[in-house]
């Protein structure tokens, strides 16, 4: 296949690819270094320190906990609402069902600003809701639900669960039984991937959260924006580093699941 | 039909969506019609020069960034698709895809590190020429930010499309006498066109709606998301903010809808 | 028209991971001849074809000649070989006529003469009514003809077809086989066809090269290969071969220890004869034109026999076997 493309083509492609990689990764490396260096201006020679990370923890640990709680609550609601919905969408493939699925993805297609504004003017007046963490969770659910639904549905369709469900029905199982014992266990890969995606998106969500938050309900990205505006570079960088560290296991998990999926698919086709 | 009995399982999701998105959106749309300066806000929004300028800036910058993204992703996507095995490929792809989950806020900060007052580029230019080169806090920085955010996505989409290209088509063109350039122009580009359109539309729509990136780079950059934010937070001008949001929302949804039908995927991931 | 011969000398192909696709071989296809490369999948026939058109390069030392010209170093764009791919490889972004004219377009021919030639080629394969259609709307048989027209449009020195009929269903294949055979003979271009179908090879090729594991086992006319297979592999590939340990006395199978090989329809069943082996009929299959028998010798060696449709022997009968050389 390499003879189909000239050597110049390959060299140019490689050069541009390396340049892009440098552009993307360079600032991240800078940020990590800045967060761990005693003095960014002086550079690495000023020595490494965890002081900034410590300062971040002192000032912003509330945001970190809140982001985790919001993410977990979001995940819970997405699981409860999204997985059953995904099953209904697997069974019904008519125009109405597909329109419903498209509708669900609207909060993703439309800028988070608009969704947040709509939430505020409609529900912002409910006493207690506007200033609670729940308000933020609702916004996050709207934004992440489609990803859970899509991922779970893909898994359910791929595993041919509709037929398994019919078989279980002939054996006497009720709908709830079939859902809990046949559908959910067999859709586990999709649910897992969807779950990790939901967590990742929720932890990083800013557009919605910035408008929905109050000084008492700050999440990590909100804190990040605050630190970018008002803190010194080293602190902001350390904070970013903490954020990246939180994302890391989720990203690795997603990659690993994707690899599992690919291996399973290859095994199925060669079998 | 027996399947109808399952519909109740979709009720929680439908209820959530209806209560917290659909109905609020309708109310937002209605607010946008309420009067501002004597006219309905929608009218104000499309006639006042202040908003026109914002809209123009947003569209122009988003288009330019989209073009830049496509221009860069095409060679990278092709390169990755045609060379599936070489030492270090996994690391290289990992580096390219890593920023996929960065929210726009973080991207803004990274651009500041690159092109801000304390940024590498400024330090380099001062060391080389003595002049300072700072462009993070204006359209230039935003442009870079749009690029940074879109590139991992578009590269992935172009690579996937290039991989699906049937090699026997290129071989056939080869045996018919076509040179490498002709094979690219006559066979490869037409085959990649749907993916290019899809990736371009996705990139454009994302750029249009980006808020976090702009917010970090400076609240004085005149693009629509910033205008909406300012109208709402600083001027409490809800009708205008609502009208602008609806217009922006419709525009991005439309562009993504077209992209969806052409390229088959609707992934925006984290908001910019 | 084109009497360019193809000569391969010492051509071999080894993949980067060490597997040998082709052992060093010599091959000569005479100008105007149609050669069929026949063999099971993995025998190297497609690799050999790709070597000839330049999509693969031989290991060092191999040389390929078109006529007197050494084309070993020429890239495929410049060899002038017309290739029909197994998947047809029609360009989906172009109409039928544009596909056929593509080779002329890259050679810089003007639009008018390109169109004329394309229509001529399409008329040759009886697809002229489809000129404006998009190729994605065509059936398998129609695509095959367009692919052929496209390869012929550039006036190739040699024509190479990679399993041209394999992608089609059985009935269509039978019909197109005859058509293709006639067309190729009229065209009179040096042609190499790759196939794994014995009937196709025998019908389309002036000569057949039977390949196995990267080697050419035997090369010759269909009749020569069928009547005098050089190896068991060739014998098994072109028709069926039965193997028994016995001797032939007066034409009949008799007890003995020679290794005999014969074709099922060269075994004639008779009433039991003295001093000849008595075979037991295990099963009888009526196949319309013929009857096929499965038989067993007293020491349980199995073999088949094919007899005319009116053959009377039934399962359970005892028979003697006469071997004829038809």
Q: Is C55 on the interface with B (CB under 8 A)?
A: yes
Same domain, B65 and B17: no
The pLDDT score that the predictor gives to residue C239 is 82
What's the distance, CA B199 to chain centroid? 9
What pLDDT score was predicted for residue B265? 47
Q: What is the pLDDT of residues B4-32, one digit of tens each?
A: 778 889 999 999 999 999 999 999 998 88
Residue B160, domain CATH: 1.10.3720.10
Instruction: Kindly report, residue by residue over B217-257, the tens digit of the pLDDT.
Output: 887 788 999 999 998 888 888 888 998 998 888 888 888 88
Quick one: C200 and C299 in the same domain? no
Domain match, B55 and B119 both? yes
Residue at A87 is within a domain: yes
Report the chain B residue with the minimal C-alpha distance to residue A10.
B79
- Put simply, the chain C residues between 207 and 246 with a CB less than 8 A from any chain B CB are none
B160 and B126 share one domain: yes
Interface size, chain A vs chain B, as Cβ–Cβ contacts under 8 Å: 260
Give C 149-178 residues with CB within 8 A of chain B: 150-151, 154
Give me A230's structure tokens. Answer: 């008002």
Do B208 and B80 reside in the same domain of the chain? yes
What is the pLDDT at residue A1?
40
Q: How does residue B1 score in pLDDT terms, banded at 50, 70 and 90? A: very low
Does the pTM of the predicted model rise above 0.80?
A: no
Q: Is residue C88 one of the residues assigned to a domain?
A: yes
Name the token pair of A50: 């965890």
A164 and A185 share one domain: yes
Does the beta-carbon distance from B13 to A145 stay under 8 Å?
Answer: yes
- Whether residue B194 is predicted with pLDDT greater than 60 in this model: the reply is yes
For residue C187, give its domain range: 6-237
Q: Are residues B225 and B155 in the same domain?
A: yes
Q: Is residue A271 part of a domain?
A: no
How sure is the predictor about B139, in pLDDT bands with cuts at 50, 70 and 90?
confident
Chain C residues whose beta carbon lies within 8 Å of the beta carbon of residue B195? none
Given this model, what pLDDT does residue C302 score?
Answer: 92
Domain limits at A238? 53-265
**DSSP helix/strand/coil, C83:** strand
**How far apart are the two ends of chain B, measured CA to CA in Å?**
44
- Report the C-alpha gap between B17 and C121 in whole angstroms: 60
Best to test chain B binding among C79, C85, C164 (most B CBs inside 10 Å): C85
One domain for residues B156 and B188 = yes
pLDDT of residue C231: 87
Angle at C23 between CA C184 and CA C21, to 5 degrees: 75
Same domain flag for C58 and C194: yes
- If asked whether residues A16 and A74 sit together in one domain, one would say no
Are both B25 and B56 inside the same structural domain?
Answer: no
Considering the domain architecture, whether residues A27 and A130 belong to the same structural domain is answered as: no
Does the residue A241 lie in any domain?
A: yes
How far apart, in Å, are the Cα atoms of B18 and each of A98, A142, B21, B24?
A: 16, 10, 6, 8
CATH number for A233: 1.10.3720.10
Asked if residue B262 has pLDDT above 80, the reply is: no
Contact of B37 with chain C, judged by CB distance below 8 Å, is answered with no
Secondary structure percentages of chain A, helix, strand, coil, to 5: 80, 0, 15
Contact of B35 with B41, CB cutoff 8 Å: yes
Residue A96 placed within a domain = yes
One domain, residues B18 and B69: no
More confident residue, B135 or C133: C133
CATH code of the domain in which C278 resides: 2.40.50.140
C78 within a domain of the structure (yes/no): yes
User: What residues form DSSP beta bridges with C248?
Assistant: C253
- Tell me: do A231 and A166 sit in the same domain: yes
Evaluate whether residue A141 is within a structural domain.
Answer: yes
Domain membership flag for residue B150: yes
pLDDT band, residue B38 (cuts 50/70/90): low
Judge whether A270 lies within some domain: no
3-state SS assignment for residue B229: helix
Model confidence at B267: pLDDT above 70: no
Which range of residues forms the domain containing residue B164? 43-263
Are residues C102 and C228 both part of a single domain?
A: yes
pLDDT along chain C (326 residues), means of 10: 83 90 94 94 92 90 92 88 90 90 88 94 93 91 93 93 89 88 90 93 93 94 89 85 89 88 90 90 93 92 92 91 81
Interacting residues of B70 by C-beta distance below 8 A, sequence separation 6+? B154, B196, B199, B200, B203
Please indicate, yes or no, whether residues B18 and B53 belong to a single structural domain of this protein: no
Tell me if residue B39 falls in helix, strand or coil: strand
The ipTM assigned to this model is 0.85
SS3 C228: coil
Let me know whether C157 and C302 are in one domain: no
| C134 and C252 co-located in one domain | no
Predicted confidence band of residue B269 (pLDDT cuts 50, 70, 90): very low
| CB < 8 Å to A32, chain B | none
Rg over CA atoms, chain B? 22
Say whether both B141 and B12 belong to one domain.
no
What residues of chain C lie within 8 A of the CB of B191, using their CB?
Answer: 92-93
C224 plus C142 within the same structural domain: yes
C1 within some domain = no
Is C93 close to B168, i.e. CB distance below 8 A?
A: no
Q: Say if residue A217 is in the same domain as residue A85.
A: yes
- DSSP 3-state percent helix, strand, coil across chain C (nearest 5): 30, 35, 35
Same domain, C110 and C232: yes
Q: What chains are in contact with C, requiring at least 3 Cβ pairs below 8 Å?
A: B
User: Do A62 and A116 have their domain in common?
Assistant: yes
Number of domains in chain B: 2
Nearest to A83 by CA among B18, B21, B13: B13
User: Mind telling me how many Å the CA of C16 is from chain B's nearest CA?
Assistant: 13
pLDDT tens track for A16-59: 999 999 999 999 998 988 888 888 777 777 788 888 888 888 88
- The answer to whether residues C13 and C157 belong to one domain is yes
- A89 and A209 in a single domain? The answer is yes
Q: Are B211 and A207 in contact, with CB atoms under 8 Å apart? A: yes
Statement to judge: residues C218 and C248 lie in one domain: no
Beginning with the edge strand found earlier in the chain, give each strand of the sheet holding C63-66 in spatial order: C20-29, C6-14, C63-66, C69-70
Q: Residue B211 and residue A207: Cβ atoms within 8 Å? A: yes
Report pLDDT for A181. Answer: 84
Domain-terminating residue out of C237, C254, C282? C237
CA contacts within 13 A on the Cβ side of A77: 24
My answer on whether A65 and A79 are in the same domain is: yes
Looking only at the bridges linking them, the beta strands covering C81-84 and C158-162 are: parallel
| CA-based nearest distance B45→chain A, Å | 15
Instruction: Give the residue from C237, C265, C282 where a domain finishes.
Output: C237
**Same domain? A44 vs A72:** no
Does B155 share its domain with B257? yes
Which residue of chain B is at minimal alpha-carbon distance from A244?
B102
Residues C191, C53: contact at Cβ < 8 Å?
A: no
Instruction: Note the helical H segments in chain B.
Output: 11-17, 23-31, 41-47, 49-82, 89-97, 104-115, 120-128, 139-163, 167-175, 180-182, 189-209, 212-217, 224-233, 238-263
Residues A153 and A259 in one domain: yes
CATH of the domain at C97: 3.40.50.300
Number of compact structural domains in chain C: 2
Q: Are residues A153 and A250 in the same domain?
A: yes
Q: End of a domain among C214, C237, C260? A: C237
Residue A177 belongs to some domain of the structure: yes
Residues A77, A20 share a domain: no
Q: Going from the first residue of chain A to its last (271 residues), give the mean pLDDT of each consecutive group of 10, the final group possibly shorter.
A: 72 93 92 85 78 88 92 96 94 88 88 91 87 93 94 87 82 84 88 92 92 90 90 89 89 84 70 47
Which chain A residues are Cβ-neighbours of B111 within 8 angstroms?
Answer: 27
Instruction: Please check whether residue C45 lies inside any domain of the structure.
Output: yes
Beta-strand pair C215-220/C279-286: unpaired
pLDDT at B13: 93
pLDDT at B125 over 70: yes
User: Is B133 a residue whose pLDDT tops 70?
Assistant: yes
Together in a domain, B50 and B26: no
Cα B36 to chain centroid distance, Å, stands at 31
| Half-sphere exposure for B251 (CA within 13 Å, toward CB) | 19
Residue located via tokens 């440098």: A22
C290 assigned to some structural domain: yes
């Amino acid at each position: 296949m390499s003879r189909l493309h000239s050597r110049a083509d390959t060299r140019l492609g490689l050069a541009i690819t390396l340049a892009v990689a440098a552009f993307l990764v360079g600032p991240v490396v800078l940020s990590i270094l800045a967060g761990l260096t005693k003095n960014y201006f002086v550079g690495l020679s000023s020595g490494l320190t965890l002081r900034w990370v410590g300062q971040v923890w002192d000032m912003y640990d509330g945001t970190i906990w809140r982001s985790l709680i919001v993410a977990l609550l979001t995940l819970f609601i997405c699981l409860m609402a999204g997985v059953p919905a995904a099953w209904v969408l697997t069974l019904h493939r008519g125009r109405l069902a597909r329109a419903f699925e498209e509708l669900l993805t609207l909060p993703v297609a439309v800028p988070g600003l608009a969704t947040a504004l709509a939430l505020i003017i409609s529900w912002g007046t409910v006493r207690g809701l506007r200033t609670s963490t729940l308000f933020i969770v609702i916004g996050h659910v709207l934004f992440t639900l489609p990803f859970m639904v899509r991922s779970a549905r893909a898994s359910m369709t791929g595993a041919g669960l509709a037929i398994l469900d019919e078989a279980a029905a002939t054996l006497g199982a009720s709908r709830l039984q079939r859902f809990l014992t046949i559908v959910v266990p067999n859709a586990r890969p999709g649910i897992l991937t969807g779950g990790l995606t939901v967590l990742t998106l929720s932890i990083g969500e800013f557009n919605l959260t910035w408008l929905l938050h109050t000084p008492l309900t700050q999440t990590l990205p909100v804190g990040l924006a605050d630190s970018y505006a008002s803190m010194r570079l080293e602190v902001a960088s350390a904070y970013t580093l903490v954020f990246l560290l939180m994302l890391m296991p989720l990203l690795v998990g997603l990659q690993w699941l994707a690899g599992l999926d690919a291996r399973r698919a290859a095994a199925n086709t060669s079998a | 039909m027996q399947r109808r009995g399952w519909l109740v399982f979709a009720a929680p999701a439908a209820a959530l969506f209806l209560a917290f998105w659909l109905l609020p959106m309708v109310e937002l749309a209605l607010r946008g019609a309420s009067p501002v300066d004597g006219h309905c806000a929608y009218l104000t929004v499309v006639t006042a020069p202040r908003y026109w300028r914002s809209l123009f800036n947003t569209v122009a910058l988003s288009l330019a960034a989209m073009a830049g993204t496509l221009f860069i992703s095409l060679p990278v996507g092709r390169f990755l698709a045609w060379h599936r095995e070489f030492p270090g490929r996994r690391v290289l792809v990992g580096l390219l895809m890593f920023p996929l989950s960065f929210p726009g806020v973080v991207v803004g900060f990274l651009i500041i590190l690159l092109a801000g007052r304390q940024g590498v580029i400024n330090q380099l230019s001062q060391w080389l020429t003595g002049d300072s080169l700072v462009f993070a806090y204006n359209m230039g920085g935003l442009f870079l930010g749009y690029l940074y955010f879109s590139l991992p996505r578009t590269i992935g989409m172009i690579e996937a499309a290039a991989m699906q290209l049937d090699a026997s088509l290129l071989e056939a063109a080869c045996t018919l006498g076509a040179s490498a350039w002709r094979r690219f122009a006559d066979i490869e580009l037409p085959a990649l066109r749907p993916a290019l359109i899809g990736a371009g539309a996705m990139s454009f729509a994302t750029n249009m709606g980006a808020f976090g990136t702009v917010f970090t780079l400076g609240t004085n950059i005149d693009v629509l998301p910033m205008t909406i934010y300012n109208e709402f937070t600083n001027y409490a001008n809800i009708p205008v903010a609502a009208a602008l949001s609806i217009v922006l929302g419709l525009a991005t949804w439309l562009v993504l809808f077209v992209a969806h039908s052409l390229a088959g995927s609707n992934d925006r991931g984290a908001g910019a | 028209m084109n009497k360019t011969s193809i000569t391969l000398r010492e051509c071999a192909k080894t993949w980067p991971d060490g597997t040998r696709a082709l052992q060093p071989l010599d091959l000569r296809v005479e100008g105007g001849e149609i050669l069929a490369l026949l063999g099971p999948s993995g025998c190297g026939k497609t690799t050999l074809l790709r070597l000839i058109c330049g999509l693969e390069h031989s290991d060092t030392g191999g040389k390929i000649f078109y006529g007197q010209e050494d084309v070993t170093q020429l890239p495929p764009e410049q060899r002038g070989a017309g290739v029909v791919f197994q998947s047809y490889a029609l360009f989906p972004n172009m109409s039928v006529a544009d596909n056929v004219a593509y080779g002329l377009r890259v050679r810089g021919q003007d639009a008018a003469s390109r169109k004329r030639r394309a229509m001529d080629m399409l008329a040759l394969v009886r697809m002229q009514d489809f000129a404006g259609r998009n190729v994605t709307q065509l059936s398998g048989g129609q695509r095959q003809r367009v692919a052929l027209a496209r390869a012929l449009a550039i006036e190739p020195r040699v024509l190479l077809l990679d399993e041209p009929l394999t992608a089609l269903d059985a009935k269509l294949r039978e019909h197109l086989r005859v058509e293709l055979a006639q067309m190729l003979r009229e065209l009179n271009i040096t042609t190499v066809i790759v196939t794994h179908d014995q009937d196709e090879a025998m019908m389309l090729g002036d000569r057949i090269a039977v390949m196995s594991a990267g080697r050419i086992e035997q090369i010759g006319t269909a009749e020569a290969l069928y009547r005098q297979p050089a190896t068991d592999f060739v014998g098994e590939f072109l028709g069926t071969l039965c193997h028994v340990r016995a001797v032939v006395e007066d034409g009949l199978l008799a007890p003995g220890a020679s290794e005999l090989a014969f074709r099922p329809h060269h075994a004639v069943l008779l009433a039991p004869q003295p001093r000849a082996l008595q075979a037991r009929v295990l099963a009888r299959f009526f196949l319309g034109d013929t009857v096929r028998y499965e038989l067993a010798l007293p020491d349980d060696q199995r073999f088949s026999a094919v007899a005319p449709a009116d053959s009377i022997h039934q399962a359970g009968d005892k028979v003697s076997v006469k071997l004829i050389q038809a």
